[in-house]
Structure 1
Amino acid sequence: MQQKRAYWRKLDNAAKLFSATSNKKDTRVFRFFCVLKEEVDPELLQEALDRTVVTYPVFLSVMRKGLFWHYLEKSKLRPEVHEECKEPCSNLYVRDKKNLLFEVTYYGKRINFEVFHALTDGTGATEFLRELVKNYLFLAHQSEGLKDVALLDENVTIQDQESDSFSQYYTKVKKKKEKKPKAFQLKKPRKEVGRLQVNEAVLSVKEVLKRSRELGVSMTVFLTTVYLFAIHQEMTKQQEKHPIVLMVPVNLRKFFPSESMLNFFNWIEPGYHFGKGGGSFEEVLEHVKEYFAEELTTERVAEHMNELIALEMHPILRLAPLELKNLGIKAGARYAERDVTAIFSNMSAVKMPAEYEPFIERFGVYTSTPKMELCMCSFGDKLSLGFTSRFDTINIQRNFYRILKQQGIGVEKVEPEFPQPDVPSRLEMKVFKFVSFLCLAAAVGCVAADFNLHPKIRWTLFTAAGIGSMWLALAIGFVKRYNLMKNAMWQLIIVTVGCILWDIFTGWRGWSVDFVLPIVCMVILVSMFIITKVQKNTAREYMIYFVMAGGYGVILPLILLLAGVVRFTPICTVCVVACFLFLAALVIFKGKEFKEEMHKKFHV
């Protein structure tokens, strides 16, 4: 029987951070990839992807914006495979544009799965890629006798996949937060235009495990220590007054049972203060080992998880408008960055059915980051390392590999193969900037002429103000170009408010409220109706914009009518009646969608 998904769902605790803080320089996108031993067939990969989203339909979601929080909404969009043509981990979440939050690309023998972190975490991405690779290899080699093997437990439902495990395991805690010292920050030359630098290497799992066991620690503890030393070798004596601190994500599914494909991770922050004496490899290793043992207990992990969720649950913060929340989250994220030097993500071992292993070379992972990040995962005996940064230096990576060699571990450096980025033309932005410059030049020219010619009527100032008004409408249209309905709503506000201000500053004749306001309200509402028909939008897609435009057309003209500001009342009265009836029709004929949309947009 076909399982039914929820039409929309709230963001999990971690996703709320990613939705608020992502931008073009920090896209919050990570890539999981698989290198095969054969060239990728795009048609077979598309068919494999179509099968995969049937198994994991929770990925077919788009990000929407409510009054208090973002949320994810089920989408009819379907992903299309294409050859890699952009910088790795490029932006996937474009505000005001309804697009899926992941994509699958290929290049040579490599299958790439990139995903916006608000949609899932490393574990969810691993499961999706495993299913995708399995489906591809089955389609490519079924004629040779390769069997289709189910990777997902048949008892796992869609409701399990989209469950919020953060909320499930949250319990109130009262704990006094300890003040953290400011961590050492890498201050290296930035790469030109901020391009992401990717540095890969492959180690032998057996060699790393052997050396780790000789030292009496886990592989993660050993490599964490190597990372700390690699960074320390780039520090000056003056910089040693600050500790080196790594952020190490922790998969909470190892502590709390969960089949969720959403984010369900936390982190610990191992570090070492080299400026306080000591600092041999063995001393740092023992310090890191003790820290991991202390922090990686169910009690400590739950404590940290509950602290973060408690902030989200605060009644005053929950009722703050989304834009205000986003400002607070961004400020908090920037403040928290001072506590961390770099990031180390261990995605653990990727396992595939034995009969599929001969076709696979290795798996790998890396992520977009404003700092420096090391990601790793293993497949068979191959441990793939992926350093990413936006710094124009590889000294820390070089130090890392050199220390490994000193520890008796061979390092096979991999030169990542990427196509020449065919980034979509930036012609739109160039044209917008050029038009903006022309508007500015024209406005400045008018003002200069006004002061030189000394006319009795300051017509050039009015001309400059008119140019400014035109530019503002153009700018809003450009920024909101991905969503015509939202664009129309913004134009409604800009045009009507702008005209009222023009009327006030030119001696108030009332034309703005007698004619412009009601006419523009009705024209925009009709325009929105036409847009929905042309784009074939569903009621859920257009509802909130109809409600906002209709409400605007009722409330503002009605207030002005009752206050006696409107002198020519017929057009304004028609506007209020028409918009009111339009809203009433929405409630009567689309009541279910109306209630659902209001619940989504105003959920706290």
Structure 2
Amino acid sequence: MPQTNVKHWRKLDNAAKLFPAASSKRDTRVFRFYCELKEDIQQEILQKAVDRTLEKYPIFLSVLRKGLFWHYLEQSNKRPVVREEYKEPCSSLYIRDKRDLLFEVTYYKKRINFEVFHVLTDGTGASEFVRELVKNYLYLAHHEDGLEDVVLSEYSESLFDQEADGFERYYSHQADRKKEKKPAAHQLRGNRRELGSLQTTEAEIPVEELRHQAKTYGVSMTVFLTAVYLCAIHRTMTRRQESKPVVLMVPVNLRNFFPTNTMLNFFNWIEPGYHFQGEKEEFTDVVQKVNACFKEELTTEKMEKRMNDYFALQVHPILKFAPLELKNVCINIGARTAESDVTAIFSNMGIIRMPESYETYIRYFGVYTSTPKVELCMCSFRDKIYLGFTSRYDCDAIKDNFFQILKEQEVKPEILEVEYPESVMTEAKGMQIFKIFTFLCMIAIVAALGVDYSIDTNFHLSLFVCGGAFSMWLALAVGFFKRYNLLKNAMWQLIIVTVGCIIWDWLTGWHGWSIDFVLPGVSGLIMISMLIISRVYYRQAKDYLVYFVMAALYGMILPFIFLLTGKVRIVFPSVISIGMGVLMLIGLVLFKGKEMRQEMEKNLHV
């Protein structure tokens, strides 16, 4: 069996635990920071800059793995390869069963793109990575021109500090867990774009204009823009829709309240809103209501209570030991339910600062994120604020209203003309083929039912056609959706084939062939195939140990049960299967005992 090295691994932080279960093509939970330079990007230099940046932030070199109770992150030997931008912005980076890095660096003309799955870090951590990346790129490209290397931030280079869990560090048990019941918020509706593609719109506004206008209302720029966003949504609503309030989710950087150098997720959020209730829109009233919400919610006490409330769910004794798949179902339900509490999202990533000597080469920074609805992100650089609107709807009314209200408030936005290459939709093509095959199976079933209805015979053709078509469809479905992990695919095929044959044998009068030959035969073949696959595709024991154990136990326990109950008529295939399972387990204990203990520790952590 292949050799392995001990790998560093860590638990997910409190916020990150939600993202693997809640991510989908509809909402990939990926966000993009980018930097537009004044010169074309050179791929070789950018690759060196990425490698140099990862020396400071090795925490990003991780892959996501599944345990019995929780996901976890494991250090990986994989290294990112810089390439020209080749797909839709904020496309999925986390693909279940595919152990890839959870971030990507691409470029297009003068733009450097950094995309990251939210499990790895939040906006603050991502902005630190991007600043370091851009600094390294410009230094490598221009050090011969006299550009000096500089230290950008006081963030610790210690891996221990970078992966410190702020939620766990500052969690304190509180007896009062009462939550106020929130009214359902207005929900955006509309026709989705073709193939669910993400629409992006980027703009810039002068900081001084915005600051001046915000001061006239006695509020911060963030409060002012939040009010503009609420009013922009309101202008798309009907009178009947005004029965529900417009509510925004506004993420809050907890590092401003609880000091830490963590690069992990460490944020919470507040939910400012306004109930227009059929009245005439008065911008001043909206601004003051939002300002009052910010003042009330943005306190250490309120942030600590919110943080404790959500962390308490993680350490709840019942939820803590629930199987991961059950947790995923509950998290998905909770995420969909939580969507009814808010209308849209507004993320302020803050100020991005670079040394003056480096600013000469930079046009601007930008940020936006994937969303199932509509989201607005912002960051500032030098004397401009940069906005990134994302949406999956065809209608542009909200962002058009947003810019119109800014103009009414004497703030002049300028839409940025950002170029993107043509997207590559290989996943969509694969899904289309799968849909065609599904339709063909349905044609066969409908035709067989029609023949049975038309011809009165004792032979029910539709039963066999339905069974065969469903078996083929299920095998292809598993093969398609689990194609990134051959061993998991093999395990699923083992279960589907054997259980399917037992059911088929029972439905056709029970002749015993399913447990005499199919169950032990397929179990033995899968164990042999797993050994071959592990030698060809997997070099580290951590990648195959769990599946070896599952296949060995499956090939032992079921045939043994049928032998004990006297159901098996031809004994030797079952004996061979049981023997192979026993030998596989003994071999794993003897030759991979240490690795097995490490895998059990990671997979069983709570």
Place the TM-score, normalised by the shorter chain, in its bin.
Answer: over 0.9
* Contact 1:198 1:416 survives alignment (8 Å): no
Partner residue of 1:344? 346
Q: Cα deviation per residue 1:85-129 (whole Å; 9 max; x = unaligned)? A: 211111111111111111111111111111111111101110111
Partner residue of 1:92? 93
Partner residue of 2:197? 195
Partner residue of 1:432? 434
- Pairing 1:268–2:265 present: no
* Contact 1:40 1:106 survives alignment (8 Å): yes
Partner residue of 1:567? 569
CA–CA distance in structure 2, aligned partners of residues 402 and 443 of structure 1: 56
1:47-126 → structure 2 map (5 Å cutoff): 47-126=48-127
Residues 184/438 of structure 1: CA separation in 2 closer, same or farther (3 Å cut): closer
Q: Which deviates further from its counterpart, 350-359 or 434-443? A: 434-443
CA–CA distance in structure 2, aligned partners of residues 462 and 290 of structure 1: 67
Partner residue of 1:35? 36
Aligned-partner residue type, residue 549 of structure 1: A
Aligned-partner residue type, residue 321 of structure 2: L
Q: Cα deviation per residue 1:172-199 (whole Å; 9 max; x = unaligned)? A: 1223100111112222333233221211
* Contact 1:33 1:113 survives alignment (8 Å): yes
CA–CA distance in structure 2, aligned partners of residues 551 and 7 of structure 1: 28
Partner residue of 1:441? 443
Aligned-partner residue type, residue 469 of structure 1: S
Q: Secondary structure at the match of 2:150?
A: coil
Partner residue of 2:509? 507
CA–CA distance in structure 1, aligned partners of residues 304 and 180 of structure 2: 17
Q: Secondary structure at the match of 2:371?
A: coil
Q: Which deviates further from its counterpart, 67-76 or 249-258? A: 67-76
CA–CA distance in structure 1, aligned partners of residues 343 and 466 of structure 2: 49
CA–CA distance in structure 2, aligned partners of residues 361 and 8 of structure 1: 38
CA–CA distance in structure 1, aligned partners of residues 399 and 449 of structure 2: 56
User: 1:276 offset after TM fit, Å?
Assistant: 7.7
User: 1:505 offset after TM fit, Å?
Assistant: 2.2
User: 1:483 offset after TM fit, Å?
Assistant: 0.7
- Pairing 1:328–2:330 present: yes
Partner residue of 1:545? 547
CA–CA distance in structure 2, aligned partners of residues 235 and 449 of structure 1: 53
1:155-554 → structure 2 map (5 Å cutoff): 155-173=156-174, 174-275=176-277, 280-424=282-426, 426-458=428-460, 461-554=463-556
User: 1:484 offset after TM fit, Å?
Assistant: 0.4
Q: Which deviates further from its counterpart, 355-364 or 406-415? A: 406-415
Q: Secondary structure at the match of 2:277?
A: helix
Q: Which deviates further from its counterpart, 147-156 or 136-145? A: 147-156
Q: Secondary structure at the match of 2:425?
A: coil
CA–CA distance in structure 1, aligned partners of residues 93 and 546 of structure 2: 24
CA–CA distance in structure 1, aligned partners of residues 214 and 389 of structure 2: 21
CA–CA distance in structure 1, aligned partners of residues 466 and 237 of structure 2: 54
User: 1:214 offset after TM fit, Å?
Assistant: 3.4
CA–CA distance in structure 2, aligned partners of residues 324 and 228 of structure 1: 36
Q: Which runs of 5+ in 1 are unaligned?
A: none
Aligned-partner residue type, residue 30 of structure 1: F
Q: Secondary structure at the match of 1:462?
A: helix
- Pairing 1:127–2:143 present: no
Residues 383/560 of structure 1: CA separation in 2 closer, same or farther (3 Å cut): same
User: 1:248 offset after TM fit, Å?
Assistant: 0.5
What percentage of residue pairs aligned between the two structures are identical?
58
* Contact 2:59 2:159 survives alignment (8 Å): yes
Aligned-partner residue type, residue 480 of structure 1: K
**RMSD across aligned positions (CA):** 2.0
CA–CA distance in structure 2, aligned partners of residues 276 and 230 of structure 1: 15
* Contact 2:204 2:387 survives alignment (8 Å): yes
* Contact 1:450 1:461 survives alignment (8 Å): no
User: 1:460 offset after TM fit, Å?
Assistant: 5.9
Aligned-partner residue type, residue 492 of structure 2: W
Aligned-partner residue type, residue 198 of structure 2: L
* Contact 2:538 2:544 survives alignment (8 Å): no
Q: Cα deviation per residue 1:226-259 (whole Å; 9 max; x = unaligned)? A: 2122222222333222211111000001111111
Residues 309/448 of structure 1: CA separation in 2 closer, same or farther (3 Å cut): same
User: 1:301 offset after TM fit, Å?
Assistant: 0.4
* Contact 1:28 1:369 survives alignment (8 Å): yes
Residues 575/287 of structure 1: CA separation in 2 closer, same or farther (3 Å cut): same
Q: Secondary structure at the match of 1:206?
A: helix
* Contact 1:5 1:158 survives alignment (8 Å): no
Q: Cα deviation per residue 1:394-416 (whole Å; 9 max; x = unaligned)? A: 22222222222232222211122
Q: Secondary structure at the match of 1:217?
A: coil
Q: Secondary structure at the match of 2:149?
A: coil
Residues 5/215 of structure 1: CA separation in 2 closer, same or farther (3 Å cut): farther
CA–CA distance in structure 2, aligned partners of residues 240 and 459 of structure 1: 57
Q: Secondary structure at the match of 1:590?
A: helix
CA–CA distance in structure 2, aligned partners of residues 284 and 509 of structure 1: 75
Q: Cα deviation per residue 1:315-350 (whole Å; 9 max; x = unaligned)? A: 111222222212211111111111111111000000
* Contact 1:34 1:362 survives alignment (8 Å): yes
* Contact 1:450 1:458 survives alignment (8 Å): yes
Q: Secondary structure at the match of 2:497?
A: helix
Q: Secondary structure at the match of 1:531?
A: helix
Residues 370/512 of structure 1: CA separation in 2 closer, same or farther (3 Å cut): same
CA–CA distance in structure 1, aligned partners of residues 201 and 465 of structure 2: 55
* Contact 1:7 1:74 survives alignment (8 Å): yes
Q: Which deviates further from its counterpart, 64-73 or 257-266? A: 64-73
* Contact 1:443 1:465 survives alignment (8 Å): no
CA–CA distance in structure 2, aligned partners of residues 241 and 427 of structure 1: 42
Aligned-partner residue type, residue 597 of structure 1: E
CA–CA distance in structure 1, aligned partners of residues 9 and 443 of structure 2: 47
Q: Secondary structure at the match of 1:201?
A: strand
Q: Secondary structure at the match of 1:579?
A: helix
User: 1:148 offset after TM fit, Å?
Assistant: 1.7
Q: Cα deviation per residue 1:31-78 (whole Å; 9 max; x = unaligned)? A: 111010111111111111111122211111112122222222222221
CA–CA distance in structure 1, aligned partners of residues 53 and 260 of structure 2: 20
CA–CA distance in structure 2, aligned partners of residues 152 and 580 of structure 1: 56
Q: Which deviates further from its counterpart, 25-34 or 223-232? A: 223-232
* Contact 1:16 1:70 survives alignment (8 Å): yes
TM-score by length of 2: 0.95
Residues 473/278 of structure 1: CA separation in 2 closer, same or farther (3 Å cut): closer
Aligned length: 601
Q: Secondary structure at the match of 2:360?
A: helix
Q: Which deviates further from its counterpart, 426-435 or 32-41? A: 426-435
TM-score by length of 1: 0.95
Aligned-partner residue type, residue 31 of structure 1: R
CA–CA distance in structure 2, aligned partners of residues 285 and 419 of structure 1: 39
Q: Cα deviation per residue 1:542-574 (whole Å; 9 max; x = unaligned)? A: 111001101111111111122222222222122
CA–CA distance in structure 2, aligned partners of residues 124 and 156 of structure 1: 13
CA–CA distance in structure 2, aligned partners of residues 96 and 305 of structure 1: 31
CA–CA distance in structure 2, aligned partners of residues 238 and 41 of structure 1: 54
User: 1:278 offset after TM fit, Å?
Assistant: 7.6
* Contact 1:58 1:161 survives alignment (8 Å): yes
Residues 470/356 of structure 1: CA separation in 2 closer, same or farther (3 Å cut): same
